[in-house]
Chains A and B, each alone.
Chain A
Amino acid sequence: MTINPDLQGRSYPAKEVYDVGREKIREFARAVKATHPAHFEVDAARALGHSDLVAPPTFAIIVAQRADAQLIEDPDAGIDFSRVVHADQRFIHHRPIIAGDRLVAELHVDGVRAMGGGAMITTRSEIFALAAGATDGTAREAVTTATSSILVRGEGQ
C-alpha cells in the first residue's frame, strides 16, 4: 500500500460538533496527571477569570485526532493505521478551551513527503467554537490550531 501523493493540499470540512463537558475535562486532566484546580473546580476557574473549567493544554488532541481519523480512514489516502507513528505535535491556543464549548475541526493536509518506503504526513486541525445557539459553522471563534506529523512506516521500516 502506498500513500497517495495527491493528498497534499486536501481539506476535510468540519463534521460533528464536540461538546466539551466538565466531567470530560476532569477525566482528561486526571488521565494526564494534572492537579491544577482550574481543571476540577468551577470556583477555582472563575477566580482566574474563566467562565467555567479550563481544559488542559493538550485536551484539543481529542478533537484533532477525530479530525485526523477522516484522513486515516479515507480509502483514497492509502494509510495503514497499524504502521502509523506519531512524530510531532503542536497546539497553538488562540484562547483556552472551556467547559461548555461546542467545537468543530477543519482538517488540512499541509504536507506529504516520501520517506523510504513510507511517508511523513503533516496535518493541521483548525478548531473553532460555535457561537451559543449556532446551528451551523457560520458564527464561530478560532480556538486552537493543532498541527501533527505522522510517519507511516513502509514495508520493512
Chain B
Amino acid sequence: MTRTLSELAVGQDIGSRSITVTRTDLVKYAGASGDFNPIHWNEAFATGVGLPGVIAHGMFTMGSAVQLVTDWAGDPAAVVDFQTRFTKPVPVSDTTGTAEAGAVIEISGAIGALDAGAGTARVDLTVVSGGQKVLMKAQAVVRLA
C-alpha cells in the first residue's frame, strides 16, 4: 500500500493497536537488544532499586509502538525520524504459566503535521498502559510519495 501526502490532513486518525506484554517478551527483548539490565527481568532487583516491580524496557515500548506507523506507511524504511520521552514505567506482572498478559500497551496515532516541501508527515502517537501515558512526544516522521 502506498500513501500519498495529498490524501492526508492534520488530525487524521491512522488507527490504533493493543499490544500484550509478558515477562517472556521482556526476556526476548533483552536478548534481541543486548540490554540485560535486571530491572527488566528480576523482581527482587527491581523492587530493591525502588521500582514497583519488573518494568518493560523503554525501548521495548518505543519499538513496539512504531509498528502501527510502519504498517500504516507500508514500508518500514519510510520512518525517517522517530523520537520519544519516557515518562512512566510500564510494570509487567508475572503471569508465567497462564495465558494472561502481564501488561497491555494501547497505541493510537494521528497526523500531527504535514510538510509538503520535505514530502513528510509527522505521526503523533499516544501510548498508554495502566491508564497512564507512558511515552510523551512520541513522534514519527514518515516520508511519503
Q: Which of B4-12, B25-33, B110-118 contacts A (4 or more CB under 8 A)?
A: B25-33
CB-CB < 8 A to A95: which residues of B? 77
**Closest chain B residue to A94, Cβ basis:** B80
**Are A88 and B81 interface neighbours, CB within 8 A?**
no
Residues of B within 8 A of A28 (CB): 32-33
- Those of A77-117 within 8 Å (CB) of chain B: 81-83, 85-93, 95-96
Given A62-B33, A66-B34, do A92 and B81 touch, yes or no (CB 8 Å)?
yes
B77 touches A56 (CB 8 A): no
CB of B71 within 8 A of CB of A35, answer: yes
Tell me if B100 is interfacial: C-beta within 8 Å of chain A. no
Answer yes or no: B76 CB below 8 A from chain A CBs: yes
Contact between chains at B79 and A48 (CB < 8 Å): no
Query: Count the A residues whose beta carbon is within 8 Å of the partner chain — how many?
Result: 38
Interface members, chain B 50-81 (any A CB < 8 Å): 58-60, 62-64, 66-67, 69-71, 74-77, 79-81
Asked if A82 and B82 make an inter-chain contact with CB atoms under 8 angstroms apart, the answer reads: no
Taking CB as reference atom, which chain A residue is nearest B19? A33
Known contacts: A27-B32, A33-B19, A33-B64. The answer to whether A91 contacts B77 by CB under 8 A is no
Interchain Cβ contacts under 8 Å between A and B, 7 examples: A24-B32, A31-B31, A34-B63, A54-B75, A57-B63, A57-B76, A89-B84
Binding site for B on A (CB under 8 A): 24, 27-28, 30-36, 38-39, 48, 50, 54-58, 61-62, 65-66, 81-83, 85-93, 95-96, 147
Given contacts A36-B70, A54-B76, 10 further A-B contacts (CB under 8 A): A33-B67, A34-B67, A36-B71, A38-B75, A56-B76, A61-B35, A89-B62, A90-B83, A95-B77, A96-B77
